[in-house]
Amino acid sequence: MSGLRQFDVIVVGAGFAGLYMLHKLREAGFQAHVVEAGSGVGGTWYWNRYPGARCDVPSIEYSYSFSSELENEWRWSERYAAQPEILTYLEYVADRFDLKKDITFDTKVTAAVWDDAMKLWRVDTDQGNGYLSQHLILATGALSAPKTPELPGIENFKGAILHTAKWDARVDIEGKAVALFGTGSSGIQVTPPLAQKASQLTVFQRTPNFAVPANNRPLNEDEWRQSRATLPARREAARQGFLGFFDVPRAGAAKDDTPDKREQRFNEQWNAGTAGLLLAYEDLLVDEESNAHAAEFARRKIAETIDDPDKVRKITPQGYPLGSRRMCSEIGFYETINRTNVALVDVREEPVTGFSAYGIRTTDHHYSAEVVVFATGFDACVGAIKAIDIRGLEGKSLREEWADGPHAYLGLAVPAFPNLFTITGPGSPSVLSNVVVSIEQHVEWIARCLTDMRASGKATIEATEEAERDWMDHVHEIAQQTLFPRADSWYHGRTRDGRKVFMPYVGGCGPYRATCDEIAAADYRGFNLG
Ligand code: N01
């Protein structure tokens, strides 16, 4: 195997997860190397450069907590940081901890094969260079493999085609007729800037989402100073809390309050950010009746912002509980939909039938378009992992193992794939939490595991099938106690025969952390160490 560089650990991806993983492994004395497809660090924040891209978790919470020096050096400018600022932050982190010298950029990992005789992973890339490593850590991100729908006749289209997650800023939108597909978090953010530049924007919507006002603002000095004083305690509360956020749900059940009190509380929470309304009562994600009150309130608020009754009808979310699909936050989205140069097409009542050279045909109309923008999301939780041809014991393929729905012990490890770890993998809180909190927890657990293995002279670690089965049963049971399974959403994977598999763990960040720690303390119960 000459020509292959050998490391203790190869980490795939240089976003929030990969950067901290590299730092932590180095600190623990491992020879680690990161392979990254992009030309720079940042992961999702490197690729998602569409106009309006912004984090909808408050900046102070959506940042690393592992270094108090870093916390003191960095000053966020807004309550919700825009993509350029987050990317600058991650570049700053990479420089501050001198991480780039151990990252190979512009290189995509294409395959990884476990060599059971050597107890090593052989990692191949699209650049022809490869690696050998004892451990392989996938820091590939849960929302990083963009999805584009297969639309009839799209090959006839002669204009430019963009995806929000692979934005090409060279495409000029000024004065053009633009078609946008998708009204999830990305579509809702990109709509206002598109409408400002385009001569005409046509939004093709399939499922309307609930969006609440982002209520973004500059972080003033007072607010910043106060946040410093309370930061350590609030960080700890987030680690031990349910969703990894500073704010927690308010006590009580919505259905038990009087209509006046409920209205008052919903109004208080309406401007409290992305999860604000969901935090109005502690039962909103588990009780249908309470949730229906919150959903009705949100529908009324949305209707107040739009004049055209037809647009209101189309854009009002119906048929699923509030919060069972990812809540979106908006800065001028509904106002923009209200504009006369913005058309809203419901593709369920008016399906797309084809494309012309510069337009889109539906069953009812032809809409002009010189640019098509897809804000159609990601192959969530698994797409970036399945894009790599990963072969474990006896040549088992991870893609095939997951063809019937993804499964992993603690969302961290899969039987028959020794020494392979997935950061924020399926079966962990991941996308249903403040993901930076979840990333830090996984990184620290993996570093501890590798350090313990080294201390006890163990070369391999592999999750057992029984532990994984029990864990995934638990993930499923907990999800069934909530309203999440009541919606079609990207939180679900699919089995071969089309059944839904709920992917994130909704038992809470704090309890999940305690379980992981307890398993480590019990000599890594559920894992075979060899
Ligand atoms: O993707 P999505 P996203 N015709 O999957 C629609 C995070 N994020 O990139 O719902 C028309 O949510 C699809 O319709 P449907 C955040 O966690 C965070 O927006 O499948 N439409 C849906 O409306 C978020 O949840 C931030 O029926 C079609 C949209 O495309 C996650 O990333 C910003 C269609 C896809 O929405 C993903 O968000 C951005 C078709 N043929 C993202 N096919 C912030 O922090 C699909 N759609 C703010």
Q: Where does ligand 1 bind, in terms of residues with CB under 6 Å?
A: 54-56, 143, 149, 181-187, 189, 204, 206-207, 326, 347, 375-378, 431, 490
Q: Residue 17 is encoded by which pair of tokens? A: 């997860």
* Structural domain includes residue 176: no
Confidence of residue 492 (pLDDT cuts 50, 70, 90): very high
Instruction: Please report the pLDDT score of residue 3 as a whole number.
Output: 79
- Beta carbons within 8 Å of 186's beta carbon, 6+ residues apart: 48, 50, 53, 164, 165, 375, 377
Instruction: Indicate whether 131 and 33 sit together in one domain.
Output: yes
Q: Stretch 317-346: mean pLDDT, rounded? A: 97
Residue 123 — φ and ψ, nearest 5°?
A: -115, 125
In this structure, the residue with its CA closest to atom 12 of ligand 1 is 184
Stated pTM of the model: 0.97
Q: Looking at the structure, tell me whether residues 398 and 505 fall in a common domain.
A: yes
Between these two residues, 3 and 141, which has the higher pLDDT value?
Answer: 141
Residue 2 is predicted with a pLDDT of 54
- Write the pLDDT tens digit of every residue in 72-128: 999 999 999 999 999 999 999 999 999 999 999 999 999 999 999 999 999 999 999
CA diameter of the chain: 74
Same domain, 313 and 242: yes
Q: Are 483 and 469 in the same domain? A: yes
> Do the Cβ atoms of 359 and 146 come closer than 8 Å?
no
Mutate to test the pocket of ligand 1, among 85, 164, 183 (most ligand atoms within 8 A of CB): 183
204 Cα: distance to centroid of ligand 1 (angstroms): 12
216 domain residue, yes or no:
yes
Look over the chain and give the mean of its residue pLDDT values, rounded to a whole number: 97
Question: Residue 409 belongs to what domain range?
Answer: 5-145+379-529
- Single residue among 331, 353, 374 that ends a domain in this structure: 374
Q: Which atom of ligand 1 lies nearest, measured to the CA of 55?
A: 45
**Does any domain span residue 511?**
yes
List the beta bridge partners of residue 146. 378
Q: Give, using CA atoms, the residue closest to atom 1 of ligand 1.
A: 377
Do the beta carbons of residue 446 and residue 139 sit within 8 Å?
no
pLDDT digits (tens, 9 = 90+) for 174-210: 999 999 999 999 999 999 999 999 999 999 999 999 9
CA distance 491 to 503: 6
Q: Which ligand 1 atom lies nearest to the CA of residue 490?
A: 5
Nearest to 384 by CA among 341, 429, 424, 347: 424
The percentage of residues in the chain with a pLDDT greater than 70, rounded to a whole number, is 100
Q: Which of 123, 144, 189 is closest to 17 using CA atoms?
A: 144
Residue 61 lies in a domain: yes
Q: Is the dihedral of CA 61, 67, 71, 76 positive or negative?
A: negative
Best residue among 59, 186, 194 to mutate for probing ligand 1, ranked by most atoms within 8 Å of CB: 186
Looking at the structure, tell me whether residues 330 and 393 fall in a common domain. Answer: no
% of the chain residues with pLDDT over 90: 98
Return the closest-CA partner of residue 429 out of 420, 439, 414, 419: 439
Determine the 3-state secondary structure of 115 from DSSP. strand
Query: 22 and 100 share a domain?
Result: yes
Q: Could you tell me if 389 and 522 lie in one domain?
A: yes
Same-domain pairing of 399 and 353:
no
Task: Supply the CATH number for residue 407's domain.
Answer: 3.50.50.60
- Structural domain ending residue among the three candidates 325, 352, 374: 374
Q: What is the distance in A from the centroid of ligand 1 to the CA of 491?
A: 11
Phi, psi (rounded to 5 degrees) for 9: -140, 135
What sign results for the dihedral spanned by CA atoms 181, 183, 187, 193? positive
SS3 131: strand
In contact, 151 and 440? CB cutoff 8 Å = no
Residue 11 Cα distances to 122, 133, 408, 421, angstroms? 13, 10, 18, 9
Q: Residues 182, 374: contact at Cβ < 8 Å?
A: yes
The DSSP code sequence of 104-136 is: E-S--EEEEEEETTTTEEEEEETTS-EEEEEEE
The answer to whether residues 439 and 487 belong to one domain is yes
Q: Identify the residue whose C-alpha is closest to ligand 1 atom 9.
A: 377
Q: What is the pLDDT of residues 248-269, one digit of tens each?
A: 999 999 999 999 999 999 999 9
Question: And the tokens for 336?
Answer: 């923009």
- Is 16 among the domain residues? yes
Tally the domains of the chain: 2
Has residue 202 been placed in a domain?
no
- Return the pLDDT at 171: 97
Q: Among 332, 355, 374, identify where a domain stops.
A: 374
Q: Are residues 122 and 15 in the same domain?
A: yes
Q: Output the pLDDT for position 431.
A: 96
**What pLDDT score was predicted for residue 1?**
53
The answer to whether residue 158 sits within a structural domain is no
* Same domain, yes or no: 279 and 404: no
One domain, residues 464 and 514: yes
CA 59–ligand 1 middle distance (angstroms):
21
Q: 147 CA to middle of ligand 1, Å?
A: 9
- Residue 284 resides in a domain: yes
Distance CA 86, CA 264 (A): 35
Residue found by looking up tokens 């994130």 in the block: 504
Kindly indicate the confidence band of residue 14, based on its pLDDT and cuts at 50, 70 and 90.
very high
